[in-house]
Chains A and B, each alone.
Chain A
Amino acid sequence: MANPVLSVSNLSIEYNSLRGKVQAVRDVTFDLYPGETLAVIGESGCGKTTLALGLVRLLPKAANIVRGSIMFHHNGQSTEVLDLTAKQLRAYRWGDCAMVFQSALNALNPVLKISSMVQDTARAHGERDTKKIEQHAKELFEAVRLDPERVYNSYPHELSGGMRQRVLIALGVLLHPQIVIMDEPTTALDVLTQRTVIEVLKRLRDSMGFSMLFISHDLSMAAELATRIMTMYAGEAVELGTVADTFYRPTHPYTLGLLRAAPALHGSPENLSSIPGSPPNLIHLPSGCKFHPRCPYATEICSTDDPPFEQHLPDHWSACHYWEQPGEARTAYREELATLLRESQL
């Protein structure tokens, strides 16, 4: 593999809350390669949004990065993002690493026209030529399947939710960043609009070649877009692997649990099951493996020893003492499903 464009090691982020220190992200390590799409999948409270905010250092005041490093590699140079000054940080954000937030409704200033926002963004990063910026923005609007003329001159409230999300995406890639971080890009969008956004993201990614890191709770989105998937639980990365490996040969019981809990338009409902229990309190985490109270494979050792996040197979990391078993369970299910699908000629 080529050299990564972003290397994150042992990143740990804590929040100060009235009840104690919330360990939102603990010892997360991963690399992001050029042109790849890494999906960070997890449920509420797993730390994925905190992680994304940490990567661009947009954490709220109550949060602290207590440990770790974020190295950005570009043009043969490596920079430690955590050491950037405020001025350098502003250039880094959007210029090198853009973040597109969820809740497109609130991300756009309602009293500014889209054109103003485009120009302001570009100008804040040193671009002066308004004509050139306008041209570029309109091209991007075209690429995200928006009517360039109409959208460029409108106010946010004149656009639908899906259109606003696409505007945000276009704004995100305006300055040709190396990395685009997307937080829940299609949550709150209708199915058909969501499909448009997915296709748009694929097209942009293929034509502009940026690396995409997208945060979602939706495994199906990862199935659509990702080259690799990282599942997070209780602030930790519990599995990291290619999309095929994660879906067909998972090595962590939580990933298996998520797969089993995802309803689909094919297959029989008997195969679906929930993960019992609920996510742990991030202030008082369980001992040993944080997932063990809900894990079907847990034994004595799981409650005492926290399994390290290690590479068990080529290109496939996980934090589990019994990492082989989820894959076996999944293979059996897949075989059944393949037979079923063959029979129904889907």
Chain B
Amino acid sequence: MTAQSTLPTATFRQPGPFATVWAALRPIVRKPMGFVGLVGTIAFILVAFLGPVIIPQPVTNTNMMRQGPSIEAPLGTTNDGKSILILVLRGGRDILSIALLTGGMTTFVGVALGSLAAYLGGWFDRIVNTAANFLLGIPTLVLLTVLATVIRLDNPLPLSFLLASLNWPSLMRTVRSQVLSLRERDYIEAAVALDLGTRHIIINEILPNMASYIIINLIFSITNAIYSLNFLIFLGLVPVDVKNPNWGWIISTANTNQAIYSDNTRWWVLAPVLAIAFLQWFLITLARSIEDAFNPRLRSGG
């Protein structure tokens, strides 16, 4: 290297977006659990959103009522002769869209309030904590039940908003305690001394250290939302499009129609239940493998 080398402008290239995503995904995908979790989750999302678009709406078929599994309907048919398999393939959209929206909102609010409360302290911290403690004391599902009888929860946005506003406190608390400890780190103190500003410190210094933690909590917010949502739907508290039923509604209908008691219609209940269960399983497996990949202490091998 010559002493007077002027820096050529082309030598430095920021890694492209694909490279960064791949670098983040690689440790997860390398392990079988992570691979399964990621692929399963993506598959579910694709089916849930593309299903209603690709697969045509099933029509009532009086010839095929309450039939067991057959070639035309591999999982049997409902009271209306509709194929259970098709209903399930088309029934994930509402659930997934509301759950993803809720999860996103919960995580955003929880992270924003938690990190600001921890970093700024003082009165802001006190207000946020009081609000959180208040909300945490309320039994969520009971409140939702009560509210649902008063408000019409047919729009996904208000529903998500409602669910998120009841779920953010516990995430906020865990984020807050994490940030409280990160705040004491030497490199944060250095950032303060360098006058980098609160916004920079929270977004560029603190949150990146919690990235995997935030993603995992996002996933758990989604699973929580799925449970709450199905509970509400099952209780009939959420207006549902009967022609395009979602999984919760399928279960509810199947139940009302005594589907469990007949061998032929067993899958009417089982299929949506298993769909929900598998989705949850894929999500949780993905979350755990992210935790595994990013927590060096959990890595085996000394």
Contact = CB atoms under 8 A, between A and B. Distances in A.
Instruction: Please tell me whether chains A and B touch each other in their complex, using a CB distance cut-off of 8 A.
Output: yes
Interface of A: 15-18, 60-63
A60 B300 CA distance: 13
Nearest to B302: A62
A215 B125 CA distance: 48
B118 to A, nearest CB: 27
Interface of B: 299, 301-302
Residue from the set A15, A17, A18, A63 with the largest chain B CB neighbour count within 10 Å: A18
Nearest to A15: B302
Given A15-B302, A18-B299, A18-B301, 9 more contacts: A16-B301, A16-B302, A17-B301, A17-B302, A60-B302, A61-B302, A62-B301, A62-B302, A63-B302
Contacts of A17: 301-302
Ranked 5 nearest A-B pairs via Cβ:
A62-B302, A18-B301, A16-B302, A17-B302, A15-B302
A49 to B, nearest CB: 15
B12 to A, nearest CB: 26
A282 B301 CA distance: 17
B15 to A, nearest CB: 22
Contacts of B299: 18
A61 B301 CA distance: 9
A18 B298 CA distance: 13
A18 B301 CA distance: 6
A17 B301 CA distance: 6
Nearest to A61: B302
A21 to B, nearest CB: 11
A62 B299 CA distance: 13
A60 B302 CA distance: 8
B292 to A, nearest CB: 14
A311 B299 CA distance: 44
A63 B302 CA distance: 8
B159 to A, nearest CB: 46
A50 to B, nearest CB: 12
A16 B302 CA distance: 7
Nearest to A22: B302
A15 B301 CA distance: 9
A15 B302 CA distance: 8
11 contacts: A15-B302, A16-B301, A16-B302, A17-B301, A17-B302, A18-B299, A60-B302, A61-B302, A62-B301, A62-B302, A63-B302
Contacts of B302: 15-17, 60-63
Nearest to B299: A18
Contacts of A60: 302
Contacts of A61: 302
A178 to B, nearest CB: 31
A63 B299 CA distance: 16
B160 to A, nearest CB: 42
Contacts of A63: 302
A195 to B, nearest CB: 30
Nearest to B301: A18
A235 to B, nearest CB: 16
Contacts of B301: 16-18, 62
Contacts of A18: 299, 301
A15 B299 CA distance: 15
Nearest to A16: B302
A61 B300 CA distance: 11
Nearest to A62: B302
Nearest to A18: B301
A306 B299 CA distance: 35
A326 B302 CA distance: 38
A60 to B, nearest CB: 6
Contacts of A16: 301-302
B112 to A, nearest CB: 36
B233 to A, nearest CB: 46
A62 B301 CA distance: 7
B298 to A, nearest CB: 13
A60 B299 CA distance: 15
Contacts of A62: 301-302
A241 B302 CA distance: 34
Nearest to A63: B302
Nearest to A60: B302
A18 B302 CA distance: 8
Contacts of A15: 302
Nearest to B296: A18
A18 B293 CA distance: 14
B246 to A, nearest CB: 45
A60 B301 CA distance: 11
B274 to A, nearest CB: 38
A219 to B, nearest CB: 28
A57 to B, nearest CB: 16
